[in-house]
């Protein structure tokens, strides 16, 4: 039968009989608009749920879509970093250390691995802040660290931006030891360089000298170190 939609005019309606009552079908254009609206609301809810998951994993909006596939290596050291990240994802190594300049994609690779392996990324500043806040909430250092160690993969970013207190080095030592013995994959990121690439007068700034010998010993086993050089992507073309 023909009927009228106030918004879209005349349309051919279906008439159904149900318990003695006639039910006239809605305007197909209105029905399609409603379907589209419901799909949009559902997609927005899914996007927000995904964004919340990524935020809890320590991933910022800039890197929501980071993957190993869309990391564009521009030179040999960046190719080495990408290859090492793939080795970590595949279980060929347990620990990866990425050193070097800002803006070369180290955090991109970290966020890609977090999404791939279901882990977490945290900066040393954030870890320190969590531990300090924990004191006021009845949580010990071990509570905070053991919560991290429940993850299959941990990316520790911005290591060495400060001189490093004894407390920070103790936390790192504990994390390294437990991650090593429990088979948890680790990625360490630092803007520091290796001692071999620094002049003698600056070797005290090297990545190796940020850590105690026991941590360095753990990092040598089943690991790769890549020092990444290249242009600062954040600075544009």
Q: What is the mean pLDDT of residues 194-206?
A: 68
CB 68 within 8 A of CB 82: yes
Please tell me the pTM assigned to this model. 0.79
Burial of 52 (0-12, 13-18, 19+ CB in 10 A): exposed
Predicted confidence band of residue 236 (pLDDT cuts 50, 70, 90): low
Predicted confidence band of residue 174 (pLDDT cuts 50, 70, 90): confident
Query: What's the pLDDT at 162?
Result: 65
Residue 101, token pair as written in the block: 């300049």
Mean pLDDT of the chain: 86
User: β-strands 95-100, 185-190: how paired?
Assistant: parallel
Enter the DSSP assignment of 123. E
Tell me: pLDDT of 189 over 60: yes
Instruction: Return d(Cα 99, Cα 93) in angstroms, integer.
Output: 17
Across 118-127, b (16+ Cβ under 10 Å) vs e yields: ebbbbbbeeb
Instruction: Return d(Cα 9, Cα 211) in angstroms, integer.
Output: 75
Higher pLDDT, 124 or 89: 89
Q: Indicate the helix (H) or strand (E) that contains 92.
A: none
Predicted confidence band of residue 184 (pLDDT cuts 50, 70, 90): very high
Phi (first) and psi of residue 74, to 5 degrees: -105, -10
Rounded to 10°, the helix 166-182/124-136 angle is 100
Give the tens place of pLDDT for each residue, 17-42.
Answer: 877 788 888 899 999 999 999 999 99
Instruction: Return d(Cα 193, Cα 140) in angstroms, integer.
Output: 33
Predicted confidence band of residue 204 (pLDDT cuts 50, 70, 90): low
Tell me: pLDDT of 142 over 90: no
Predicted confidence band of residue 203 (pLDDT cuts 50, 70, 90): low
């Amino acid at each position: 039968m023909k009927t009228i939609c106030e918004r879209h005019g005349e349309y051919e309606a279906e008439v159904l009989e149900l318990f003695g009552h006639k039910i006239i079908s809605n305007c197909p254009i209105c029905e399609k608009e409603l379907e589209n609206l419901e799909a949009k609301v559902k997609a927005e809810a899914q996007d927000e749920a995904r964004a919340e998951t990524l935020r809890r994993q320590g991933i910022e909006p800039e890197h929501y879509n980071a993957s190993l596939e869309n990391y564009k290596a521009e030179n040999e050291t960046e190719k080495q970093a990408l290859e090492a990240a793939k080795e970590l994802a595949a279980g060929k190594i347990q620990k990866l250390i990425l050193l070097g300049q800002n803006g070369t994609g180290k955090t991109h690779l970290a966020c890609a691995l977090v999404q791939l392996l279901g882990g977490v990324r945290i900066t040393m500043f954030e870890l320190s802040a969590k531990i300090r806040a924990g004191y006021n909430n009845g949580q010990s250092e071990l509570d905070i660290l053991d919560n991290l160690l429940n993850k299959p993969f941990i990316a520790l970013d911005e290591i060495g931006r400060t001189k490093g207190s004894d407390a920070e080095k103790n936390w790192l030592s504990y994390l390294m030891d437990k991650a090593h013995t429990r088979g948890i994959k680790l990625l360490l990121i630092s803007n520091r360089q290796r001692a071999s690439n620094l002049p003698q007068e600056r070797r005290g700034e090297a990545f190796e000298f940020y850590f105690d010998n026991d941590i360095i010993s753990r990092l040598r086993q089943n690991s790769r170190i890549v020092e990444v050089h290249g242009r600062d992507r954040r600075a544009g073309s």
